Amino acid sequence: MLIDFITKNFASFKNETELSFQTGARLYKYKETNTFPGKDVSVLKNLLLFGPNGAGKSELLQGILTMAHLIRIGGTKSITDKLVYNPFLFNPNSAKDLTYFAVTLKYQKQIYEYSFSYDADHIESEKLVLILSNSEKTYFERKGQDFLVLPDKLKGLTDNLRKNALFLYLAQQNNDLHASGVFTWFSEDLVFLGSNVMIPEKMLELLSNEKLKQEMIDFLSFADFNIVDLNLRRVAIDDPILRKISTQLDAPLPTDRLEIYTSHKVYDDQGNVLRTEELPLSSESQGTQRIFYIVLAMIFSQVNGNHKTIVIDEFDESLHHELADSLVKLFNTKENSNQFLLATHDLELLDNEIRTDQIYLIEKDFKGVSTLKSIFDFSDSRNLGRLNVSFLHRYLKGQFGAMPIIDLDGLKETLKSIHEEVKKSNNEKKA
C-alpha cells in the first residue's frame, strides 16, 4: 500500500509537495469502509484530486509513474543513456536543479521509505529506510558514488554501480530481501490507468477464465450496460506504420493482438429479441472502453492478491456522473481491498460519502507553480468533519481555492477580435 508520495522540482511542482494516504488525526467518519485501519499505520482506500484544467493533476500522477519507470529499469539501461528528467522550467535555478522523489509504502508487513534525487546525467542521492515498530533503520544510503550506509552483504556490488543507475535495482537483482520488496511493489502492486484506453494483454487474458468473464458480465449488467456476453480472440495486426518501423529496426513486431468482442441483443420493432450481434471493444464508446479498463484492473487486483494501488488519471472521462459516483462508493466498501488514486473534474464527487482527508485540491499560480493541499488541512473542515457540510458548495464559492478564474468578457473580446481579423483577411483576398 502507498502511504506517502513526495516530489520536488518535477514538472509544475517546483516546491516540495506531499500526497498522503495516511488517515487524518481524530477523524473517525467512515472509518470502517473508507480506511484500512492498522496498528502500525492506517491508510485511506482512495484519494480524489480536484483542480482546474492545467493545474497539475496529471503531472502529479506522472511524477509517480516516472518514479516507477526509473525504478523498474534501474534508472537507465546503459552508461550513455539519459535519465528521464523533467524539472520545473520556468525558473532559471530549478531548470538546472535536482528532481527529488520519495515514497513511504507498505509491502507485506514491512514499511519502507525510499527516495532518490537526480538530474539527466546522474543519481545524486539514494536512500532506503526500514520503518520498525519503535524505530527507523537506514538500510543503505549513498551520495553520488559514495556510500554512507551499506550492509556488508551488498558491499561487493558497488563496483558495478553506474552513476546513472539506481542501487536498489542492482540490489534486487542480487535477491536482496528489502530492495526486492520495494522493487516488487513498484513492478506489481502499482497499477497505472492513463487517459489513453489501451488495456494491457495481461488484463485482457483474465477473460479467458469463464468465471472471471461472468463476473465482468455481471458487473456490466449491474452498471446498466446492454452487454450480454464477451468473447476474447486474437486478431491480425495490419498496420503499415508498424510494418515500416519493424523494417527500419530490423526487429519483428507482434503480428496479432487480443481483442474483446461484446455481444448485444438485436430487437425487432415490437421489442422481441431476434439474435445477438458482436462488436469489437475498440468500436464501443470511450465510456464503455474506459469502464472495461477500470473493472479489469479491479479484477486483476483481486486475482493477484489485492492490496494494489491503482492510479487513474481523468477518472470521470467519458463516464456519466452516476457511474463515476457508484465506482467511488464501491472503492469505499468493506469488500474493496485495494487503494485508488483518482484525478477528476467531476465536482459532484465532492459530496460523495468521503472524508475530508480523502479530498486533495491542486491549483497553479501565475508563475506556473502547482500547489497541492488537502481539505483536511483547513481547520474549519477538520473540526466540522462531514456533518451536513456541502464541500461542493464551498468549493464553488472559492473557499478552498483551486478554482479556475474565467474572464468571460475577455473570452468574448478575443472571439470578436478573431472574427474581425478573419473578416478583414477575407475582404483583402476579395480585393
- Grid-cell match 520495494, residue found: 182
- Domain segments of the chain as ranges: 2-192+342-396, 199-285
Give the C-alpha separation, 342 to 349, whole Å.
11
* Cα 104 to Cα 13, 74, 181, 335, 420, distances in angstroms: 19, 19, 12, 25, 56
* Cα 52 to Cα 362, 405, 418, distances in angstroms: 8, 9, 25
- Grid-cell match 515514497, residue found: 103
pLDDT grade, residue 411 (50/70/90)? very low
Helix 210-222 and helix 286-303, axial crossing angle in degrees, nearest 10: 130
Over residues 209-253, the pLDDT tens digits come to 898 888 888 888 888 888 899 999 888 877 666 566 656 666 666
pLDDT grade, residue 429 (50/70/90)? low
**DSSP string for 360-373:** EEEEE-TTS-EEEE
Range 402-407 average pLDDT: 43
**pLDDT at residue 381 greater than cutoff 90:** no
Over residues 102-146, the pLDDT tens digits come to 999 999 999 999 999 999 999 999 999 999 988 999 999 999 999
Q: What pLDDT is attached to residue 388?
A: 42
C-beta neighbour count of 173 within 10 angstroms: 14
Any idea what the Cα angle at residue 126 is, between residues 124 and 130, rounded to 5°? 165
Any idea what the Cα angle at residue 150 is, between residues 148 and 152, rounded to 5°? 140
Grid cell locating 107: 509491502
- Grid-cell match 485482457, residue found: 204
Over residues 257-267, the pLDDT tens digits come to 889 999 998 99
**pLDDT at residue 196 greater than cutoff 80:** no
Grid cell locating 191: 497499477
Q: What pLDDT is attached to residue 404?
A: 43
pLDDT grade, residue 407 (50/70/90)? very low
pLDDT grade, residue 426 (50/70/90)? low
Helix (H) or strand (E) holding 394: helix 391-396
For the full predicted model, state whether its pTM sits above 0.85: no
Query: Which of 126, 83, 106, 96 minimizes the C-alpha distance to 22?
Result: 106
Q: What pLDDT is attached to residue 402?
A: 44
- Most confidently modeled range among 148-152, 286-290, 322-326: 148-152
Give the C-alpha separation, 19 to 377, whole Å.
12
What integer best gives the mean pLDDT of the chain? 85
Give the C-alpha separation, 315 to 91, whole Å.
31
Over residues 35-51, the pLDDT tens digits come to 999 888 999 999 999 98
Q: What pLDDT is attached to residue 326?
A: 86
Q: What pLDDT is attached to residue 409?
A: 58
Query: Which of 76, 87, 154 minimizes the C-alpha distance to 122?
Result: 76
pLDDT grade, residue 306 (50/70/90)? confident
Grid cell locating 76: 537507465
- Grid-cell match 498496420, residue found: 239
pLDDT grade, residue 26 (50/70/90)? confident
* Cα 265 to Cα 226, 228, 276, 414, distances in angstroms: 8, 7, 4, 49
- Grid-cell match 496479432, residue found: 256
Q: Residue 29 in 3-state DSSP?
A: coil
Query: Which of 149, 167, 145, 129 minimizes the C-alpha distance to 3?
Result: 129
Among 4-8, 225-229, 234-238, 425-429, the minimum mean pLDDT is found in 425-429
Q: What pLDDT is attached to residue 237?
A: 75
pLDDT grade, residue 33 (50/70/90)? very high
Which residue spans within 150-301 are E strands per DSSP?
190-193, 229-236, 256-267, 273-280
Grid cell locating 167: 542501487
Over residues 347-375, the pLDDT tens digits come to 888 888 889 899 999 999 999 999 999 88
Residues 6+ apart with CB under 8 A from 308: 189, 190, 191, 300, 301, 338, 339
Q: What pLDDT is attached to residue 302?
A: 82
Edge-first strand listing for the sheet containing 123-131? 17-20, 2-8, 99-107, 110-118, 123-131, 136-143, 146-149
Among 58-62, 157-161, 173-177, 242-246, the minimum mean pLDDT is found in 242-246
